[in-house]
Structure 1
Amino acid sequence: MTARKILYVEDDPVNALLMQGIVELRPGCSVVVARNGAEARRLVALGGIDLVLCDLRLPDIAGNELLGELRALGLPADVPALLVTAESQAVAAELSQSGGFDGHWTKPLDVAATLRSLERWLA
């Protein structure tokens, strides 16, 4: 299995730790955390990202606006991106679609469902 690198853009350290713990349950994956849009832009410029997970409420930019910037900086179009939010399913779906995301996850995350979804997005 090829090692896969997941970028999680999340300013809440507890949520970042939770996601890291979930991803550690899937062999061959690692998470790099960006605490804001500026860090996410820097990490995307370095390349090698296989999946982007992005919180909605960030200190310097709305998560649903960040993906367009990351794509403009060179994040390939075939790298899937998911919006991660505590908003309702309906609001999350609308925001993820308008932001160009491939899908969304709603908080609180269900560990088993998140792992199944990771398998799908990293396939």
Structure 2
Amino acid sequence: MSFDAESPATSRRDVKGKVLYIEDNPLNMDLIETALSAFPGVELIKATTGTEGIRLARSEAPDFVLLDMHLPDIGGLEVVRALNEEIASGKLRVTLLTADTLSMDIVKAMSLGAFDYWLKPLSMAKFETELVRALTRKEPQTITRSPAGAEPSGS
């Protein structure tokens, strides 16, 4: 089974890396944890606050950060600002996960160097495709995402 048209040989077993998921909702955390369990080479690091996420991003050196925009202590935008140096150096890819379709915070975060953003709800097929893209260091197709797992516009 392939996940990326640019790399048809990519399988779940081939995908490796550390993913830091910063999310305060236990149900969302469980969903991503379940989805990542299909990727034996991917390690999940979990944080439930922005402050904890920043600390773990610096101490655990994840390959990819999936960041909820609404956290109990500081917002996702503040997390992106705090990790700006790591993002700018290319050491860290941060993708925002949000239900906000027209949030100015998304625009600001992208201007600060966030890699991409995904809209909730996210289909598992879309999650897998975008995860492979992020962990294999491929650029997103576009920065405009379609809701509910629809294919992105443009290419």
TM-score scaled by length of structure 2: 0.69
Q: CA RMSD, aligned part only?
A: 2.1
Aligned counterpart in structure 2 of residue 33 of structure 1, from 46, 54, 57:
46
C-alpha separation in 2, matches of 1:95 and 1:68: 10
SS in 2 for 1:61: coil
What stretches of structure 1 of length at least 5 have no aligned partner? none
Aligned-pair distance for 1:30?
A: 1.8
Tell me the percent identity: 32
Partner of 1:58: 71
Aligned residue identity for 2:124: V
- The answer to whether the 8 Å contact 2:97/2:117 transfers is yes
Residues 1:94 and 2:107 are matched in the alignment: yes
Return the structure number with greater helix share: 1
Higher relative contact order (CA 8 A, sep 6+): 1
Aligned residue identity for 1:47: E
Aligned residue identity for 1:40: G
Partner of 1:70: 83
Aligned-pair distance for 1:2?
A: 6.9
Bigger CA radius of gyration: 2
What stretches of structure 2 of length at least 5 have no aligned partner? 1-13, 137-155
Aligned-pair distance for 1:53?
A: 0.6
Aligned-pair distance for 1:70?
A: 2.4
TM-score scaled by length of structure 1: 0.85
